C-alpha cells in the first residue's frame, strides 16, 4: 500500500486501480488515524484505502453517507479483521476486533484528494451519477 495525493472514485465500482475495484459492498475501507496510533500501526499497513483524522467512524451506521472531496461513500458495515493482521503482529487480529474500520461503496464518483474535508451527508441520500 502506498500513499497517493489523489484518487478517482467510480460510482458503483470503487477506487480506480484498487484491488477491490468492482466489488459490491467492499469497495473502500476507511479507518481513523487514532485507531492506527492506538495499535501502533502505520497508515496503509491494514490495507485501508482512506485514513481519516478526527472523524468518529464508530458512530456510523450502514447506509450513512460520507462526502469526501467530490465523492459520496455509503457505509456498508464494519470490516472484520482478517488473518493478514496477525502477520503484522501476532494477536492483532483479535486485539483490533471492533476497531478495524468501516467498509463503504461509492455512491457518487469523483476525485478525493489528500486533506479533503470529510462530512456526513444529511437529508436525502445522494444518487448515483451517470
Instruction: Give the start-to-end residue ranges of the domains of the chain.
Output: 6-120
Q: What is the enclosing helix (H) or strand (E) of 84?
A: helix 84-88
Classify domain 6-120 by CATH number. 2.40.33.20
Per-residue pLDDT of the chain (130 residues; tens, 9 = 90+): 788 999 999 999 999 999 999 998 789 999 999 999 999 999 999 999 999 998 889 889 999 999 999 999 999 999 999 999 999 999 999 999 989 999 999 999 999 999 999 999 975 544 443 3
pTM: 0.88
Report how far apart the first and last C-alpha atoms of the chain are (Å, whole number).
30
What are 74's strand-pairing partners? 65, 105
d(CA 88, CA 83): 10
d(CA 79, CA 89): 18
Per DSSP, 128 falls in state P
Residue 102: how many CB atoms within 10 A of its CB? Answer: 25
d(CA 124, CA 130): 18
Amino acid at each position: 500500500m502506498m500513499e497517493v495525493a489523489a484518487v478517482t472514485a467510480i460510482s458503483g465500482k470503487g477506487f480506480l486501480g484498487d484491488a477491490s475495484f468492482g466489488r459490491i459492498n467492499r469497495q473502500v475501507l476507511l479507518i481513523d488515524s487514532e485507531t492506527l496510533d492506538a495499535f501502533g500501526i502505520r497508515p496503509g499497513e491494514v490495507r485501508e484505502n482512506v485514513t481519516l483524522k478526527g472523524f468518529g467512524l464508530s458512530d456510523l451506521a450502514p447506509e450513512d453517507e460520507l462526502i469526501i472531496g467530490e465523492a459520496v461513500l455509503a457505509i456498508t458495515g464494519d470490516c472484520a479483521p482478517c488473518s493478514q493482521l496477525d502477520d503484522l503482529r501476532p494477536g492483532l487480529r483479535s486485539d483490533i476486533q471492533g476497531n478495524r474500520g468501516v467498509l463503504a461503496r461509492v455512491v457518487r464518483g469523483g476525485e478525493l484528494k489528500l486533506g479533503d474535508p470529510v462530512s456526513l451527508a444529511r437529508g436525502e441520500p445522494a444518487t448515483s451519477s451517470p
